[in-house]
Chain A
């Protein structure tokens, strides 16, 4: 059953100002495009990747290491898209 497979990927926040309002909203926006459930895990604490408010509250300054976890039919695509978003610093000129 591929749809139940959990996919995880470690990421590092590169933006100078960390995961602040704009990046957090981009993240939640992108995550919401996928059917899979998506979580952002920091130090064992996980929050809903589709909720801008939850993503904001785990406060991630630059350099924070996190795990993206996705479960569902398009988990692989979701993780890849989010990973790229983070790697490209959410498209911000930093």
Chain B
């Protein structure tokens, strides 16, 4: 048994026989040719290119409707094939240097490689891989070798193992008995990985030396949830994975059929379950997984990716699209939550000794008012198009909140004068993530419409643990009695003032914590969309009355260790069938 690590590119679990695709490395025969053969050599190259072009075109035509959108990848391959740096350059080299087509093509490719090496953008550098696929196909055509992926000998269902697969190869697989695939090269963002995901073929890429570590016919477990492959597993491992596979399939089926069932406990407590999101592209997944809106829309992306600060118009367009596409569901948008050091442009600040405690989030925004005003204006303008709610991060006390609200009123005035529409009654909330905010939650609750508890930071600040620091990360414990008390304080203070309290940290998306959160009485949970179906299911199996009792017992325990032990026991006793899903669904399942 051998376990190899890679990158999970397309989720799923496959167990089956290995089909090893031996990448026959095409050796370039370098040959000088005489003047008379130049024309003929150029013709040979041209016809090889035409052959590949034709193949790509017919593959595009054969694409089933569901994946038609991906034809653009193949289109761009055709364009590359005919690009002057490939096509014209090779023809030129054949003539100028009197060399054969293969050699000329190699030289042209080397020049492209050199050019791409100077590109800073990693994503674009990766496209070199696409050019490589195309060039290799032409080389194969020149030598008369088979240029289509040869899966003809794949008669039985099997897992394909190869050095690398081109997008064209991947599209080819859908017809065949392909249970999944493993490659040595590739990354999560390679076109091949994207295609695999659309086709629903489990895939692990970037597994070094896999082709020399296994043989056709051997058994392979492909764990494309965790990015692992196991060659020739032992009996016990095989059994474990058969169960995992069954659970995963069951889980996927459930996602489809049950994700829209309400999140209501047996005794009728209805809690709102929403999704955290960052990119517009996530909207379909969010809806498909049964979210009742977006509880946390992170807005940092546009600030990190572009060189200049995003303009109000750009922000407005994005926010408006999100609100419109999710309507009638509510969207809670969190204002910029980063430190000055993370901004790709505009504002640069000196390196801070302790960025987590430094100038970030609301503090940065209140200092850089130009930046903040533009975002608030964009948010308010977008609020005219649906149920948009405002959430301010890292508020530590009333003073900041008063300042923010004054600014907001000022901007509303401004918009009014300019004749812009916006929702005058937009709901305003704050993140509860700084311990001092918990302790003055009663005061803050009178100033806002809702709280959202950000557990990741709240735990980090309460326990004084830097989660990234390996020396102390083991002390990061959501079930520390201090943390539970913090959460309860915030919830109770909110409820006393008559406002709703939600949670949008990682804790909200993990089944084991759900009985506790129900028992504390949270009104809303917001999480990674993929976690929603399983969380809803746990909620439907719960009895809130029992959870109240359970939480009051937990709060009397005096160490994190005891709390965790009790929580696990409670979960095992009350949700036996969900125990096994915890393990594999907590990790590796990303969008």
Question: A: which residues have CB within 8 A of B?
Answer: 14, 16-18, 20-22, 24-25, 28-29, 48, 50-54, 56-57, 59, 61-64, 93-94
Nearest B residue to A20 via CB reads B123
- Chain A residues with CB under 8 Å of B80's CB are 52-53
Query: Is B79 an interface position by the 8 A CB rule?
Result: yes
- Chain B residues with CB under 8 Å of A94's CB are 280
Nearest A residue to B130 via CB reads A21
- Chain A residues with CB under 8 Å of B305's CB are 16-17, 61-62
Question: B: which residues have CB within 8 A of A?
Answer: 72-73, 75-76, 79-80, 83-86, 112, 115-116, 118-121, 123-124, 127, 130-131, 191, 280, 302, 305-308, 310, 314, 318
> Smallest CB–CB gap between A66 and chain B, Å?
13
Selected from A28, A63, A93, the residue in CB contact (under 8 A) with B79 is: A28
- Assess whether A51 is in contact with B83, with CB atoms less than 8 Å apart: yes
Nearest B residue to A54 via CB reads B85
Q: Can you offer 7 A-B residue contacts whose CB atoms are under 8 A? A: A16-B305, A25-B76, A51-B84, A51-B85, A56-B119, A57-B124, A63-B310
- Assess whether A52 is in contact with B83, with CB atoms less than 8 Å apart: yes
- Chain B residues with CB under 8 Å of A93's CB are 280
- Chain B residues with CB under 8 Å of A54's CB are 85
Selected from B123, B131, B280, the residue in CB contact (under 8 A) with A53 is: B131
A12 to B79, CA, bound (A): 24
- Chain A residues with CB under 8 Å of B118's CB are 57
Known interface pairs A20-B123, A57-B116; A25-B280 also in contact (CB < 8 Å): no
Selected from A16, A17, A22, A63, the residue in CB contact (under 8 A) with B72 is: A22
- Chain B residues with CB under 8 Å of A51's CB are 83-85
Nearest B residue to A28 via CB reads B79
- Assess whether B123 is in contact with A63, with CB atoms less than 8 Å apart: no
Nearest A residue to B280 via CB reads A94
- Assess whether A57 is in contact with B119, with CB atoms less than 8 Å apart: yes
- Chain A residues with CB under 8 Å of B131's CB are 53
A50 to B280, CA, bound (A): 31
- Chain A residues with CB under 8 Å of B124's CB are 20-21, 56-57, 59
Lowest 3 CB-CB distances: which A-B pairs, in order?
A: A25-B76, A59-B121, A63-B306
> Smallest CB–CB gap between A59 and chain B, Å?
4
- Assess whether A25 is in contact with B85, with CB atoms less than 8 Å apart: no
- Assess whether B83 is in contact with A53, with CB atoms less than 8 Å apart: yes
- Assess whether A52 is in contact with B308, with CB atoms less than 8 Å apart: no
A16 to B112, CA, bound (A): 26
Known interface pairs A53-B80, A59-B119; A25-B302 also in contact (CB < 8 Å): no
- Chain B residues with CB under 8 Å of A20's CB are 123-124
- Assess whether B307 is in contact with A61, with CB atoms less than 8 Å apart: yes
Known interface pairs A57-B116, A62-B306, A94-B280; A25-B75 also in contact (CB < 8 Å): yes
> Smallest CB–CB gap between B6 and chain A, Å?
23
A17-B123, A56-B127, A62-B305 given; 20 more Cβ-contact pairs under 8 Å = A16-B302, A16-B318, A20-B123, A21-B73, A21-B76, A28-B83, A48-B84, A52-B80, A52-B83, A53-B86, A53-B112, A53-B131, A54-B85, A57-B118, A59-B120, A61-B121, A61-B307, A63-B310, A64-B307, A93-B280
Nearest B residue to A94 via CB reads B280
A50 to B131, CA, bound (A): 16
Point out which of B72, B80, B124, B314 has the most chain A C-beta atoms below 10 A from its C-beta: B124
> Smallest CB–CB gap between B31 and chain A, Å?
26
A56 to B124, CA, bound (A): 7
- Assess whether B79 is in contact with A52, with CB atoms less than 8 Å apart: yes
A20 to B306, CA, bound (A): 13
Point out which of A20, A52, A53, A64 has the most chain B C-beta atoms below 10 A from its C-beta: A52
A20 to B124, CA, bound (A): 7
- Assess whether B308 is in contact with A63, with CB atoms less than 8 Å apart: yes
Nearest B residue to A93 via CB reads B280
A17 to B280, CA, bound (A): 12
- Chain A residues with CB under 8 Å of B120's CB are 59
A53 to B121, CA, bound (A): 14
Known interface pairs A48-B84, A53-B131, A63-B307; A25-B121 also in contact (CB < 8 Å): no
A13 to B229, CA, bound (A): 41
Point out which of B83, B86, B119, B280 has the most chain A C-beta atoms below 10 A from its C-beta: B83
- Chain A residues with CB under 8 Å of B127's CB are 21, 56
A52 to B84, CA, bound (A): 9
Point out which of B120, B131, B191, B308 has the most chain A C-beta atoms below 10 A from its C-beta: B308
A48 to B115, CA, bound (A): 14
Known interface pairs A16-B305, A61-B305, A62-B305; A52-B76 also in contact (CB < 8 Å): yes
A51 to B116, CA, bound (A): 14
Nearest A residue to B80 via CB reads A52
